[in-house]
Structure 1
Amino acid sequence: MSRMLLIRILFLSLLLVFPATAQDVLTGGSTTPAEESADPEASSAAVDDLIRILEDDTARAALIERLRQAAPETEGAQAQETVAPDMSIARQLAEYTQSVAEGAATSVRSIGTALSNLQALFSGSISADSTALREFAVNIGLLLLALFGSFFVLRLITNGLGRGIAARATGRGVLARLAALVGVGVIDAASILLAWGLGYILALNFGTTSRGMMGINQSLLLNAFVMVEMIKLVVRMVLMPRFPALRFLPLADTNAAYWSFWSARIISLLGYAFMFVAPMLSGLVSRPAGGAVQVLAMATAVTIGVIITLQNKDDVRDWLAEISAKRDNDGLGRLLATIGRQWHVLVIAYLLALLVVWFANPETALPFMLSATVQSALAILIGSLIVGFISRFVSAGLSLPDDVRQRLPLLETRLKSFVPAVMRVVRWVVIAGVVVAIGQAWALFDFAAWIGSEEGLAVAGSVVSAALIVLAAIVLYVVVASWVEFRLNANFGKVPTSREKTLLNLFKNAFTIALVVFGSMLALAQIGVNIAPLLAGAGVVGLAIGFGAQKLVQDIITGIFIQFENIMNEGDVVAVGSWTGVVEKLTIRSVTIRDLSGTVHLIPFSSVDQVSNMMRGFSYHVAEIGVAYDSDIDVVKAAMQEAFERLMETEHKEDILDELDMQGVTGFGDSAITMRARIKTLPGKQWGVGRRYNEFVKLVFAEKGIEIPYPHVTYVPAAGSGGASKSPPPAGRVEDQREDSAD
């Protein structure tokens, strides 16, 4: 019984809300308009019939079946009603063209309506209170006179103050000029606000309403004044036509004055037309009158823009071509040259598109284009300033102070090789950022939403992490290389030993290789590259190199043991294999030596079976001098000792470590007795000491008459050769040249 009660309530509700639909269902869809307009008694009878149908099981089943049959027909009708509209490109273009045409027609009609309304206003066909109109004109005129008159006087004062500030900042640094620029801007802004405040005081006391109140038109004028003049102030701050000393843009005085003049006119035209004249006419005359003023202002501004563009077509083209030539026509330079040839066409097309879009939809399309234009201009301006600073920094180079250059002689060269490259990368990043900002402003893509998504954050984080790793690797290399350079600088701090020079250079080379490998691997891992195959491939390649280049492996292993044994270092005089010279460079694989003639030899360690170091600990000059057989040995020893004493009176005294080691007679030659003595010296000083000692020995022997024999040949004629025999030549006659002997 409760179920039947629920069904009755449901259908009664249906009848009360949709009585016609219920009746149609009950009668099989044959209800006529006359029946629909029947009296309430018929509706009551229909309710009774419905109740009887619901109480009868057979009738209720038939009703349910009929409702089920009617459901597909209803769904089909609804499906036909909800067919998706045609969204093809052709239809969208047609609809947009239709909206543009309708908007242009509306704008043209508004101009005609506005002109007729203005004519009617001044002819008297439109009813207006002449007294109120006269009072409005007087009040607006007084406000205009007071506002712009006071502003003119204040501008004269601020120009004088600004001229004095600019004169004091002339020739000073960037910070001083920037502070002066800010000061001039603050003074100009104060003059605008002061004139605005005076205008408000005048409007409040002499308005169109009671004292202490002001009219809406006065408020429109004052708000338009402060907004327009503030925008013009920003333009003046950038161009600085009156004070060239405070101008940071690379513009000539004539160009700065030209662009400042036309920018101020266009800003005043659009600002006062849209913010004051058009709203005022909309309230006094009609909305079409205000719209007509806006149309005329926009058309005038676009016309001025086209004229300015055509006037500066050649100048901008030559300027961009000059920039391209300074950049040696690189990628960016060629792009600038291409833009310079067609820039006027792009600007004129943009201005005309701006006008057409404003005609079509001034409520939404124009604000969007203006906002996108301002954002694009700001992005280009900021990007140009940053790129210009980077280009100037790269071209000017990097100069370090003298004390830093003395401590780290190679740091400036190292920085000049890294910093410009990093700055070029930063410059292209800035250019890409400007392009992204322009695309975001014109809704070409939603970069902000993408960068805020999970995927965007992951990509940005990977790129930034890889860039930071590369930058950190560069900084770490510069720091370590500079530290090694400072440690090897003998002019500051502790003088490095030969061992320290060798090990520090080896450490720098090994550190550089390890930093490049690990830095590259970490950077690749950050951007999503799987470095496991790279590591495995490097191991396989290393193994293949190990098998295929056994000499290389032998070089490295021998070099490691040579370094462990510390047999030679940079600056040592060594004999390696068949070569003798000064060690100039020592790596883990080879040694580079320069011989006495200046020839450089690169000797791999695999070919080295013996190393002789002549500069380890101390050295000896071994003096082996031949004297005649009839010489007095004691006299010869005394002469050699005297030569040593003379040597000790020279600058070589600091290089000699001990007394003369006289060893006496060491051999008997064909014509001379060999006398030997040794002089102990500092490492590497034995050659200079020995040469000077030999000079003194020659002088002392000559003074004491000690003969230093040398080989000679005596010619004796054979017996019976015809002619009398000749006596031998006197002793000491030179018959043959002295042969070369060892030093």
Structure 2
Amino acid sequence: MPLRNAAASLLFLLILIFSPTLSSAQEASPPAAKSASSIDDLIRILENDEARNALLTRLKSEVSTDQAKAPPTEDQTIARQIAEHTRAAAEQIMEGGAAIWSGVAAVATVFSGSGEVDYGLLQTLALNVVLVGASLFASFFVLRMLSYVLQRSLDRRAAGRPWPLRIILTAISTIADIVTVALAWSAGYLIALQVIGAGGGRMDINQTLLLNAFLMVEMLKVAIRFVLQPRFPALRLLSISDTTAAYWYFWLARAISLVGYTFMFAAPVIATNVSDTAAQAIRVLVMLTALVIAIIVILQNRDRVRRVLSSRASHGRGDFISRSGAFLAGIWHVLAIAYLVAAFVVWLVNPTTALPFMISATLKSVAAVIVGGLVIAFIGRFANAGLRLPDDLRLRLPALEGRLKAFVPRVMQVIRTVVTVGVVIAVAQAWGLIDFLGWLSSEAGQRISGSAIAALIILLLGFVAYLAVSSWVEYRLNPEFGSIPTSREKTLLSLFRNAFTIALVVLVSMLALAQIGVNIAPLLAGAGVLGLAIGFGAQKLVQDIITGVFIQLENVMNEGDVVALGSVSGVVEKLTIRSVSIRSLDGTLHLIPFSSVDTVSNLVKDFGYHVAEIRVAYREKIAEVKEAMQEAFDLLMQTEWGDQIIDKLDMHGVTSLGESAVVVRARIKTVAGGHWGTGRAYNELVKQVFDRRGIEIPYPHVTLYKGDEKAGRSPPLQLEGGSQPT
């Protein structure tokens, strides 16, 4: 029987669900009669086979009909899901609106005197709250006047002082502000307990709500005063004007007071003494007022923020931040208003879950943007401030400052990009768009992030190694410190720096690629094959390199030497393992590959000779000419060129008998590269001594001889247009 009654009851419930006729008929009966008659009817139906089969057929048809009418629960489209969420939100908004109207009606009922409210109790509560509030704000006013004197003194002390002292004075002023609020709050509690509570040590919950709301609101105002300092500009840490600070403090303080006192004091009191619906109506009205205030502030600052956002782009910058700022400059106010309206709607629809998430995500996003902006501002200030090394280091390493100035801006740009990407990731993480932290804690995330960090460290160490080696080479080549480098040292150090730079770039690139997961074995094999192919295909290049290696090993020329390579001569400006750059006397720079060099003539290797070949007339005595040349050499030794001469005059004597002159040669040995200047000075002195001694340096001339007649006389020379010689 129990099993039968249970089956009958279950079947009866099914009938009530799927059979509107039967359920409507049963609703017309009293509950007790309904239950008894339903069980009897159900028993009769189950005992009758035809009635039972008819009931089962009807139930099956009803289930089929309901399933056909029911919307599909699987594979819903995005449009349908959005429509369902929109419908739910609209229904909740309508329910909230109905609740608000109910709350307004409840408040109106209370104030009209038609509601069932204990007005005597309300008057007592209002009187106690007014007394506590009056004493609270009166004590706070007095304490604020006393702290104002201290803060004004701190403001005068902070004027013109360095920023560390200003930070300390600002902190002291803020501590005094916090103490003022805490003392006023304590005074309010004391008055509420001892005076209004008639010394019984008991106070009403509404007074506690007022005191706690005061503490929370005023502490938030203290935080705003710490940042803005509207009355004390010397204590202000932000570089904003007095008008801007006063403007923002005015709006922020009033918005905090309005929302804070409403949610922490007025709404709980109304909910306790009137109704929850009335309290919710007050909250909605206050939030709507705060929304209107926020929209007004946004519209008032639309142009100012637009100029700030587009300032980087207006100065010609084309980076990601500048382009983003220029894009947001025209629509930022629309986005801000849309966000505030969305936050208000979310608060109306689901204040317990959606609004806290939205507020938390917003605070995290703002914090990420502020931190990222501060980092980017610091980096920009550091980059714009310039990099200046100490004078002693600049003298030792003249090229280091320029090298760092060329490298630091690129590094700063990379850091700015990384910070911007980090801010975007933080904002997306805050709003739940991505789970970057979860990915970072996973095995793949740790592997990828570790590889990226290792690659960056390798690149940084590679740059440090390059900077160290380049600075060391530069120091060794600096003639003002340590030993003066020789030409050989200059050449070898320059070649070492170039070779080290190439090897370092290849090594660092390979290690960095290996850290990020690239298999470098095929690259190395490919580089070997490519090098072999280049060796076969570029024989001229191989010849250049091999010839250059032997030239360097034989030390036949170095940077700064004066050489002659074929038809080109000049000063060696740059020497690599493949070619040499020569600056000729007229300033032309010649790049000569070593494969085209057959002979290298170094004109300044070890020492030099000035070869003086002096032409004199046949009538001059050679001994007198040699004596005059020796006198010119003695005079040369008494000039500044004497330091360049490293040996006595090497007199060779008569070397040739020319058509019009006798050539007398002497040689002067000088230091390497000193023979050109010494020779010019010696030629000048020879000219002076010859002029003083009357020694002729003849012009080229020809002696004409016509022969003799048989009589022994020379035939006359016929001159056209002139007289005949006798």
For normalisation by structure 1, the TM-score amounts to 0.81
**Aligned match of 1:673:** 662
Residue 666 of structure 1 aligns to a residue whose secondary structure is strand
Provide closer, same or farther for how the CA distance between residues 247 and 584 of structure 1 changes in structure 2, counting only shifts above 3 A: farther
Provide closer, same or farther for how the CA distance between residues 593 and 329 of structure 1 changes in structure 2, counting only shifts above 3 A: closer
| Structure 2 residue identity aligned to 1:661 | D
**Aligned match of 1:650:** 639
CA distance in structure 1 between the partners assigned to 2:703 and 2:724 by the alignment: 14
| Structure 1 residue identity aligned to 2:118 | A
Give matches, 1:86-485, under 5 Å: 86=74, 88=76, 89=78, 92-119=81-108, 121=110, 123=113, 125-128=115-118, 130=120, 133-170=122-159, 173-206=162-195, 208=197, 211-244=200-233, 247=236, 249=238, 251-485=240-474
Provide closer, same or farther for how the CA distance between residues 169 and 595 of structure 1 changes in structure 2, counting only shifts above 3 A: farther
CA distance in structure 2 between the partners assigned to 1:713 and 1:152 by the alignment: 123
Residue 345 of structure 1 aligns to a residue whose secondary structure is helix
Contact 1:408–1:486 (Cα < 8 Å) also in 2: yes
Matched, 1:20 2:3: yes
Give matches, 1:587-626, under 5 Å: 587-626=576-615
CA distance in structure 1 between the partners assigned to 2:124 and 2:214 by the alignment: 21
| Structure 1 residue identity aligned to 2:601 | S
What do residues 76-110 of structure 1 show as CA deviations (whole Å, max 9, x unaligned)? xxxx9xx9955734554354334423433443344
Deviation at 1:330, TM superposition (A): 4.6
CA distance in structure 2 between the partners assigned to 1:267 and 1:84 by the alignment: 48
Provide closer, same or farther for how the CA distance between residues 702 and 106 of structure 1 changes in structure 2, counting only shifts above 3 A: same
Deviation at 1:642, TM superposition (A): 2.5
Provide closer, same or farther for how the CA distance between residues 107 and 185 of structure 1 changes in structure 2, counting only shifts above 3 A: same
Contact 1:207–1:215 (Cα < 8 Å) also in 2: no
What do residues 310-357 of structure 1 show as CA deviations (whole Å, max 9, x unaligned)? 223333333323332124455433322221212222112111111111
CA distance in structure 2 between the partners assigned to 1:661 and 1:127 by the alignment: 134
Contact 2:609–2:668 (Cα < 8 Å) also in 1: yes
**Aligned match of 1:708:** 697
**Aligned match of 2:675:** 686
Matched, 1:520 2:518: no
Give matches, 1:477-626, under 5 Å: 477-626=466-615
Residue range with higher mean Cα deviation, 318-327 or 456-465: 318-327
CA distance in structure 2 between the partners assigned to 1:112 and 1:720 by the alignment: 145
Deviation at 1:167, TM superposition (A): 4.9
What do residues 352-389 of structure 1 show as CA deviations (whole Å, max 9, x unaligned)? 11111111111111111111111111111222222223
What do residues 26-72 of structure 1 show as CA deviations (whole Å, max 9, x unaligned)? xxxxxxx99xx9xxxxxxxxxxxxxxxxxxxxxxxxxxxxxxxxxxx
CA distance in structure 1 between the partners assigned to 2:442 and 2:458 by the alignment: 24
| Structure 1 residue identity aligned to 2:641 | H
Deviation at 1:593, TM superposition (A): 0.9
Deviation at 1:555, TM superposition (A): 0.6
Residue 330 of structure 2 aligns to a residue whose secondary structure is helix
CA distance in structure 1 between the partners assigned to 2:622 and 2:569 by the alignment: 36
Contact 1:584–1:594 (Cα < 8 Å) also in 2: yes
**Aligned match of 1:50:** none
Matched, 1:641 2:630: yes
Residue 615 of structure 1 aligns to a residue whose secondary structure is coil
CA distance in structure 1 between the partners assigned to 2:646 and 2:201 by the alignment: 107
1:719 to 714, 717, 720: 717
| Structure 1 residue identity aligned to 2:332 | W
Provide closer, same or farther for how the CA distance between residues 544 and 159 of structure 1 changes in structure 2, counting only shifts above 3 A: farther
Contact 1:107–1:291 (Cα < 8 Å) also in 2: no
CA distance in structure 1 between the partners assigned to 2:676 and 2:381 by the alignment: 54
Provide closer, same or farther for how the CA distance between residues 473 and 601 of structure 1 changes in structure 2, counting only shifts above 3 A: same
| Structure 2 residue identity aligned to 1:508 | R
Contact 1:502–1:569 (Cα < 8 Å) also in 2: yes
What do residues 507-566 of structure 1 show as CA deviations (whole Å, max 9, x unaligned)? 111122122222222222222222222222222222221111111111111111111121
CA distance in structure 2 between the partners assigned to 1:332 and 1:243 by the alignment: 34
CA distance in structure 1 between the partners assigned to 2:406 and 2:442 by the alignment: 38
Residue range with higher mean Cα deviation, 608-617 or 284-293: 284-293
CA distance in structure 2 between the partners assigned to 1:116 and 1:672 by the alignment: 135
Contact 2:717–2:725 (Cα < 8 Å) also in 1: no
Residue 654 of structure 2 aligns to a residue whose secondary structure is strand
Provide closer, same or farther for how the CA distance between residues 104 and 243 of structure 1 changes in structure 2, counting only shifts above 3 A: same
Contact 1:320–1:336 (Cα < 8 Å) also in 2: yes
Query: How many residue pairs get matched?
Result: 659
What do residues 130-167 of structure 1 show as CA deviations (whole Å, max 9, x unaligned)? 3x655543443343334333444444455554455455
Deviation at 1:424, TM superposition (A): 0.9
Contact 2:561–2:604 (Cα < 8 Å) also in 1: yes
Q: What CA RMSD, in Å, does the superposition of the two structures yield over aligned residues?
A: 3.3
CA distance in structure 2 between the partners assigned to 1:623 and 1:531 by the alignment: 65
What do residues 700-723 of structure 1 show as CA deviations (whole Å, max 9, x unaligned)? 222222222331346789734565
Residue 701 of structure 2 aligns to a residue whose secondary structure is coil
| Structure 2 residue identity aligned to 1:371 | S
**Aligned match of 2:709:** none
CA distance in structure 1 between the partners assigned to 2:127 and 2:279 by the alignment: 21
**Aligned match of 1:738:** none
Provide closer, same or farther for how the CA distance between residues 429 and 250 of structure 1 changes in structure 2, counting only shifts above 3 A: farther
CA distance in structure 2 between the partners assigned to 1:653 and 1:207 by the alignment: 112
Please, which runs of 5 or more residues in structure 1 have no aligned partner?
1-17, 25-32, 38-79, 728-743
